[in-house]
Amino acid sequence: MPDNLTYKILKKHLVDGEMKKGSEIGLRIDQTLTQDATGTMAYLQLEALGIEKVQTELSVSYVDHNTLQNGFENADDHRYLQSAAARFGVWYSRPGNGICHQVHLERFGVPGKTLLGSDSHTPTAGGLGMIGIGAGGLDVAVAMAGGPFYITVPEVIKVNLVGNFSPWVGAKDVILELLRRLSVKGGVGKVIEYDGSGLENLTVPERATIANMGAELGATSSIFPSDTVTKKFLKAQGREKDWQPFEADLRADYDHEITIALDQLEPLAAAPHSPDKVIPIREISSVKVDQVAVGSCTNGSYQDLRLLAEIMKGRVVHPGVSLVVAPGSRQVLISLTREGVIEELIRSGARILETACGPCIGMGQAPPSGAVSVRTFNRNFAGRSGTADASVYLTGPAAAAAAALQGEITDPRELGDFPSLPEEYAPVIDDRMIIAPPADGGDMKIIRGPNIKPVPLNKPVPEKIQIRVLLVVEDNITTDHIMPGGSRVLPLRSNIEALSEYVFAPLDSKFSDRAREYGSGLIVAGENYGQGSSREHAALAPMALGVKAVVAKSFARIHQANLVNFGILPLTFSEPVDYEKLTVGDELQIDNVSEQLKSKRIIIEHVEGNYAIEAEHQLSLRQLKIVKEGGLLNYTRSQSGLSGQNKR
Ligand code: MIC
Ligand code: SF4
């Protein structure tokens, strides 16, 4: 049977289960990446697993999120990460070297390999023909220890890209168009595979922009073939030897097909507060803009910033706009500096930021009250910018430049002729901010600061669960609602007790007090609960507050896996209308838990109301065991499944 590219790579990495749609499979993971906001917890968990050395072909620890050092916490985490990397055989990309996904693409990604990352945008590597998957830190720790990573065999959607872009239209508009068509739930349980004659017009960074925002579709991964364009990119990176061709077989099977004619696209934007609220920019032109932010793992490449600079050249930012620019990597920054592009940008009034995530995760540059911010990023959830009442529009770099110049949202086609950009560029390669691990890190000392606390563990699930409804939330709740980012909260990522004060803070400031009062709680949610980031803290901190279960209409993939990893039961309503029957404070109970979990049908009794609600779970046997043991850490330690021969 001819295989699509996704299945080809998955089959090559299959170590457990069968390639049957909907069933669970275990994959061998070749490479892992972590970033600092999820990494400290991941390495604490790796320590708890008791291995001597990572078992992957390559593992890299990046520092890119928590780079504002308002207190000692973030800097302590960086020092911990550097020491843990040396101890366990992990490469360390120092602060200032760039955003994990951009640097990984440039320096480490290899077509045909699997990459697991503790960041939801790990599928960016799909731009290079890899299967990149985002996961919680604990899953990444287990993969580093040599354990398989489990996913449900996905459906594969083929997206045919045909033709070429009209001037002023680019890669960001492709993925915004897909978000318009499919919504933030449209990719759940699916891999998006790109093909078609239009591919030859898309460079690797452009492909990476598209693969990156597959995360916003909820997709498990996104992938482009590895072709001559890929070869050219790797050659420019001095890594031609890493290239191999990979493509789907002729007449391969797909679950759905979608065609996008590139020349029919127009400049698009995602309006507040969801990446799928996509509209043509011409329909919102003249909205006044206060801030423009360019960069992030979506549009922080050399080509993106070069385009911004060419458009701004000789002109200056509108007096009502603050323009902030964060290059995606040190390579991008050095290459642009060498060519005088950074000087052009500074002359145009850009405020050049560190090469890091920065404003994308609310690490500084929060816009003013009630502001409109136009960003080349991937998420525009309410409050994520750091300003609760700001409105964020997501666009490509050309529209960002147009807004910066005009002071209002502007269709970039109004700017006249599209600037001519060089076809080729030779990146400056300088890896001296990446530290290779020593051959034997066994004696390296791990350095901990006072804010780095041990990982809390859950208890096995009891036979009778007594809980109270802690919160009822609507559809599409993001992990930014559950466990917010921003410069105040992010430094607490390695101190769960302190972090748990902020659980659900954007929705309900009394949540953590109530959780402590109730002692044992349930969250009631709508569709696509937990969409967005991979942060396991959105499960770990609620667990620390006594959350035992979530009953939702449906879940986002990574968050559901994180709930399981920390021993929280993810249940779905058998009858979605029952969602209406639960209110904060209701007392509930679940009896004969083991038996009910086995039957997949769970009766939740309403203690006072004298009625019951029926729920279900979609957990595999393996996941059930994990939940019952109180989480993956307990479970993994009790298994011998790790290839880590060196278990302590
Ligand atoms: C994000 O974009 O939300 C983050 C910050 O990169 C997260 C990871 C985190 O919360 O640390 C993600 O996308 O997984
Ligand atoms: Fe960083 Fe933003 Fe990318 Fe997340 S989405 S990795 S915060 S740049």
pLDDT at 584: 98
Q: 479 burial class (0-12, 13-18, 19+ CB within 10 angstroms)?
A: buried
Question: What is the residue with the minimal CA distance to atom 3 of ligand 1?
Answer: 533
- Rounded to the nearest angstrom, the distance between the alpha carbon of 578 and the centre of ligand 2 is 36
In this prediction, residue 643 carries a pLDDT of 41
Give the residue whose CA is nearest to atom 5 of ligand 1.
361
Q: What is the mean pLDDT of residues 517-544?
A: 98
Looking up tokens 């999820």, which residue turns up? Answer: 38
Average pLDDT over residues 330-353: 98
How much is the average pLDDT of 501-519? 98
Gap from CA of 315 to ligand 2 centroid (Å): 29
Query: Is 0.95 topped by the overall pTM?
Result: yes
| Average pLDDT of the chain, as a whole number | 97
Question: Which pLDDT belongs to residue 639?
Answer: 79
Contact between 493 and 41 (Cβ < 8 Å): yes
Sign of the alpha-carbon dihedral angle for 258, 264, 267, 272:
negative
Ligand nearest to the CA of 67: 2
Ligand 2 centroid vs 297 CA: distance in angstroms? 6
Region(s) of the chain under CATH 3.20.19.10: 465-629
CA–centroid distance, 359 to ligand 2, in Å, is: 9
What pLDDT sits at residue 1?
A: 87
Residues 61-89: pLDDT tens digits?
Answer: 999 999 999 999 999 999 999 999 999 99
DSSP reduced 3-state for 508:
coil
Of all residues in the chain, the percent with pLDDT exceeding 90 is 97
- Does any ligand 1 atom lie closer than 6 A to the CB of residue 25? no
Q: Determine the atom of ligand 2 nearest the C-alpha atom of 485.
A: 7
298 in contact with ligand 1, CB cutoff 6 A: no
Number of H helices, E strands in the chain: 20, 27
Q: Give the number of residues written for the chain.
A: 648
- Could you tell me the pLDDT band of residue 640, with boundaries at 50, 70 and 90? low
Spatial strand order in the sheet of 351-352: 278-280, 268-270, 391-394, 372-375, 291-295, 322-326, 351-352
Strands (E), 274-365: 278-280, 291-295, 322-326, 351-352
Task: Report pLDDT digits (tens) over 550-601.
Answer: 999 999 999 999 999 999 999 999 999 999 999 999 999 999 999 999 999 9
Of the residues 34, 38, 40, which should be mutated to test ligand 1's pocket, given the most ligand atoms within 8 Å of the CB?
38
**pLDDT mean over 5-12:** 98
Q: Probe ligand 1: pick from 534, 540, 559, 562, max atoms within 8 Å of CB? A: 534
| Amino acid (one-letter) located at 634 | N
CB of 361 shorter than 6 A to ligand 2: yes
| Secondary-structure class of domain 269-415 per CATH | alpha beta
In the reported structure, the alpha carbon of residue 535 is separated from the centroid of ligand 1 by a whole-number distance in angstroms of: 6
Backbone angles phi, psi at 569, to 5 degrees: -75, 120
Q: Which atom of ligand 1 is nearest to the CA of 534?
A: 14
Which is the closest atom of ligand 1 to the Cα of 493? 11
Nearest-CA neighbor of 295 among 329, 328, 335, 333? 328
DSSP string, 185-231: TTTBTEEEEEESGGGGG--HHHHHHHHHGGGGGTBSEEE--B-HHHH
**To test ligand 1's pocket by mutation, which of 40, 297, 357, 361 has the most ligand atoms within 8 angstroms of CB?**
361
d(CA 573, CA 581): 11
Q: Would the CB of 363 count as within 6 Å of ligand 2?
A: no
* Fold category of 5-264 in CATH: Aconitase; domain 3 (3.30.499)
pLDDT tens readout for residues 270-289: 999 999 999 999 999 999 99
CA nearest ligand 2 atom 3, residue: 297
> From the CA of 119, which ligand is nearest?
1
Contact predicate 162/260, CB 8 Å: yes
Closest CA to 557 of 191, 275, 212, 189: 189
The tens digit of pLDDT for each residue in 252-266 reads 999 999 999 999 999
Q: Which ligand is nearest to the CA of 327?
A: 2
> 413-417, long-range: CB within 8 Å, 24+ apart, which pairs?
413/167, 413/168, 413/266, 413/267, 414/285, 415/168, 415/311, 417/167
Instruction: Report the sign of the C-alpha dihedral through residues 198, 194, 31, 56, in that order.
Output: negative
CA distance 91 to 438: 9
The per-residue pLDDT for 216 is 98
Task: Report the separation in Å between the CA atom of 637 and the middle of ligand 2, taken as the mean of its atom positions.
Answer: 31
Would you say the CB of residue 78 lies under 6 angstroms from ligand 1? no
387 lines ligand 1 (CB under 6 A): no
Q: How far apart (Å, rounded) are the C-alpha atoms in residues 272 and 380?
A: 6
What distance in Å separates the CA atoms of residue 223 and residue 210, rounded to the nearest whole number? 9
Buried b (16+ CB within 10 A) or exposed e, 423-450: eeeebbeebebbbebeeebeebebebbe
Bridge partners (DSSP) listed for residue 291:
322, 373
CA-nearest residue for atom 1, ligand 1, is 533
Residue whose CA is closest, atom 9 of ligand 1? Answer: 535
Q: What is the pLDDT of residue 34?
A: 99
Tell the residue nearest (CA) to atom 11 of ligand 1.
Answer: 37
Q: How far is the CA of 533 from the centre of ligand 1 (A)?
A: 5
For 111-141, write each residue's pLDDT tens digit. Answer: 999 999 999 999 999 999 999 999 999 999 9
Residue-wise pLDDT tens digits, 561-571:
999 999 999 99
| Cα(412) to centroid(ligand 1), Å | 30
Residue nearest to atom 12 of ligand 1 (CA): 533
Q: Is the pLDDT of residue 637 over 90?
A: no
Give residue 64 CA to ligand 2 midpoint distance, Å: 9
Instruction: Identify which of 290, 454, 522, 463 has the alpha carbon closest to the alpha carbon of residue 387.
Output: 290
**Nearest bound ligand to the CA of residue 533:** 1
Q: How far apart are CA 85 and CA 174, in angstroms?
A: 37
* Over residues 529-534, mean pLDDT: 98
Separation of CA 215 and ligand 1 centre (Å) = 11
The stretch 14-25 carries a mean pLDDT of 96
- Which token pair is 465? 């669960």
List, for residues 188-240, the tens digit of each pLDDT value: 999 999 999 999 999 999 999 999 999 999 999 999 999 999 999 999 999 99
Q: Of all atoms in ligand 1, which is nearest to the CA of residue 361?
A: 5
Averaged over 397-410, what is the pLDDT? 98
Three-point CA angle 580, 583, 586, nearest 5°? 125
pLDDT > 70? residue 645: no
**481 CA distance to ligand 1 middle (Å):** 13
Give the confidence band of 424 by pLDDT, cuts at 50, 70, 90. Answer: confident
The predicted structure's pLDDT at residue 636: 87
Give the closest residue (by CA) to ligand 1 atom 2.
Answer: 533
Report whether 307 contacts 397 (CB < 8 A). yes
Q: How far apart are CA 221 and CA 121, in angstroms?
A: 9
Dist CA 95 CA 2 (whole Å): 44
Question: For residue 647, is pLDDT > 50?
Answer: no
- The answer to whether the beta carbons of residues 246 and 150 sit under 8 Å apart is no
Q: Is the peptide bond before 121 cis (omega within 30 degrees of 0)?
A: no
Q: Is the CB of 535 under 6 A from ligand 1?
A: yes
- Ligand 1, pocket-test mutation among 36, 533, 557, most atoms within 8 A of CB: 533
Residue 423 has what pLDDT? 79
Closest ligand 1 atom to Cα of 379? 2
Domain with CATH 3.30.499.10 in the chain: 5-264, 269-415
User: Does any ligand 2 atom lie closer than 6 A to the CB of residue 27?
Assistant: no
What is the whole-number distance in angstroms between the Cα of residue 643 and the centre of ligand 2?
32
Ligand 2 binding pocket includes 296 (Cβ within 6 Å)? yes
Helix (H, G, I), strand (E, B) or coil at 542: helix
- Please answer whether residues 33 and 626 qualify as being in contact, where contact means their C-beta atoms are separated by less than 8 angstroms: no
Q: Which two tokens stand for residue 627?
A: 């939940």
Residue 368: band (very low, low, confident or very high) from pLDDT cuts 50, 70, 90: very high
Architecture of domain 465-629: Alpha-Beta Barrel (3.20)
Q: 360 C-alpha to center of ligand 1: Å?
A: 9
Specify the long-range contacts of residues 198-201, CB closer than 8 Å, at least 24 apart: 198/160, 198/161, 198/162, 198/163, 198/164, 198/260, 198/262, 199/161, 199/224, 199/225, 199/227, 199/229, 200/227, 200/229, 201/164, 201/165, 201/262
Query: Which residues lie closer than 8 Å to 424 by C-beta, 6 or more apart?
Result: 236
